Structure 1
Amino acid sequence: MRHRGSHLALHAIVLFAVVASSCGAAVTGNAAVERAFAEHRSGIEVTAQALVTRLLADDTGPSGTHQRFIVRMMESTQTLLIDNNVDIGKRVPLATGDDVVVHGEYVWNDQGGLIHFTHHDPAHTHEDGWIELKGIRYS
């Protein structure tokens, strides 16, 4: 009986520790992007929640056609260029003012940075990225 009671107490302690650790402040993707910008870091997988502020013309280069747009991260003044390869991934039907969530690789620049690799990676050499708009995930 004693042995069973100590197991129950141990389970209760473990459960409390798990619940307590999940109650801390969440680190958002936006915080990771802001930190990467402040530290001039690139090559970091990030997820950012943002507002589309400007649609740009497509850019065609050696790595394909890229849908490009500017976003401002939620609760921030930092802007980002999103560079979405539509030859590999899907074009996102965006409009100025749309809320989006973007997952990809952050590259630092002095204007706030950019996120690319916002699509699946057919070569499986890079983490898959995506753009979410109105509950639909485009990759």
Structure 2
Amino acid sequence: MYFNVRVYGLLVNDNDEILLTDEQEQGYRFTKFPGGGLEYGEGLTDALKREFIEECATEVEIIEHFYTTDFFVKSAFNDSQIISVYYKVRAAGTVNFTCKTKAFDFDGTSGSLQAFRWRSLAELHPKDVTFPIDQHVVELLKNKK
């Protein structure tokens, strides 16, 4: 067993909508917040900025730390223990990614697929995201409103 450190950005637009990413990997479909794994030698905020550039072609500024996992979660993909760190972020300039309006509206049909969409914070529910830590973060977001 080993630790898998993940970092995610909570990006809210001017319409009070949060960015979600629908993905398909290894035949498994899931919805989560944008972000991903920490690479060796990276700090958390550098990793998050890299992930947004890689996934969204968008630079982000870190606003503040929001949450770090405080309960055990085993990865859905391997035998690692997941530790996720969430930051509130804002776009540092132009938002450079296409957003869809329905879940899993991928442009391709095979391999690793990804599509972004906005979800109203007022209508956001834990069931809108796949993984337990993200579901907990949704609850925290709702309680802070």
Q: TM-score range by the shorter chain?
A: under 0.3
Q: Which has the larger radius of gyration?
A: 1
> Could you say which structure has the greater relative contact order, defined with CA pairs below 8 angstroms and 6 or more residues apart?
2
Instruction: Give the TM-score normalised by the residue count of structure 1.
Output: 0.25
The TM-score with structure 2 as length reference comes to 0.24
